[in-house]
Amino acid sequence: MKILVINCGSSSLKYEIYQMPGQISLGKGLVERIGLSGGRICQEYGTRKYEMHLEIPNHRVAFEAMMLALLDPKAGILSSISQIAGIGHRVVHGGDQYSSSVVIDADVTAAIEVNCELAPLHNPANLTGIHEAEAIFKGIPQVAVFDTAFHQTLAPSAYLYGIPREFYEKYRIRRYGFHGTSHRYVAGIAVQMMKRSPENTNLITCHLGNGASITAIQAGRSVDTSMGFTPLEGLMMGTRSGDLDPSIIFYLEERGFDFHDLHNILNKKSGLLGLSGISSDLRDIEAAAEEGNQDAIEALDTYAYRIRRYIGAYVANLIKVDIIVFTGGIGQFGIKMRQRICSRLENLGIHINRDLNKQIGANAGIISQDYSPITILVIPTNEELQIALDTFELITDEPEREVSGT
């Protein structure tokens, strides 16, 4: 059974085909610059590569280009569209309506549309992807996998803000959290790697990339997460500010910055980029820091400090922590940053093994000392596989199988 996984953005379309239940990726592709000049589609299937440059004025043309690539006689992945048994869509925001993945019907698409006001940059594109897939792949069941769903188990004490309750009741302002599919995936792998049961395991999962978030997981359920009403809250990120005093916004408004200026600054010009003045790429900042650039050094120290602060808070709230997981682009590949983060957490029972940290590199494995009460793991995330697993489970009514090794 083949599952097509789709991640549809405003100007891009990512896709991957999985053979289930074997959890084998058969190939993947990317359609980029939708609605812009210089459109391109590239696809990889084993050693076979497919690439074509063409104008892609809209998502319908993008989906048609994807279908042609999938069926290409020389480099295609499928011999017939009928081989696709189900389609899984990444959808950013499910609001508080959905705490798990669901088969898409009219009610689901209506809910995604309602939640466009909460995720105006993502949900409209996700919804377009669903509509175009329905038109191209007629009659094939589709599943929505929400980034926010995993965090719907948060208690009111974790998701409510200290503002008048009417803002929650009237405007739905609360902590939603994001990266839920990634946190759920790596938590499952971590439990499997350590041969533990989710019911008696507490984890802190650190998804660190250009976007970054940390989640506290108790008995398989998200109980707190760093991103909030939007992905801007929480950790300092590649270009996002993360937590800051809200009065800073009012202060800057009084000095002539308008709403659009501030939105752009906090989302696209802050974080590692803003503090270092160099780049949002950790590798560039680490290289500058090694040459003595003080702004780069302070950016790295601030990034690690903010992460440690969240880990400490979650350790306190969970009382007992068994595993900490590093994932995402920085979490997986940032060997020096993992060391920097863990270097002051020994008093919490978090002891990194410097040699193991280097040896593991970007692979899955344990990087903590044998005597560390809390095990530290590196686990590459795979949100596409998690979407395929959810889709397979829902369209076959089979319980989700244990994820195969990373």
Q: What is the pLDDT of residue 374?
A: 98
Question: What gap in Å lies between CA 22 and CA 28, rounded to an integer?
Answer: 17
Q: Residue 80: how many CB atoms within 10 A of its CB?
A: 8
Sorting pLDDT into bands at 50, 70 and 90, what band is 398?
Answer: low
Percentage of the chain modeled with pLDDT above 90: 97
Is the entire prediction scored with pTM above 0.85? Answer: yes
Q: Residue 402: how many CB atoms within 10 A of its CB?
A: 11
Peptide bond into 231 cis (omega under 30): no
Which entry of 72, 107, 147, 322 is annotated as an active-site residue? 147
Sorting pLDDT into bands at 50, 70 and 90, what band is 397?
Answer: confident
Q: What is the pLDDT of residue 399?
A: 60
| Rounded (5°) CA angle 3-87-11 | 115
Q: Is the pLDDT score of 339 beyond 80?
A: yes
Q: What is the pLDDT of residue 223?
A: 98
pLDDT per residue as tens digits for the range 162-216: 999 999 999 999 999 999 999 999 999 999 999 999 999 999 999 999 999 999 9
Average model confidence (pLDDT) for the chain?
A: 96
Torsion of CA 323, 324, 329, 333, to 10 degrees: -90
Q: Is the pLDDT score of 55 beyond 70?
A: yes
Active site residue 245: no
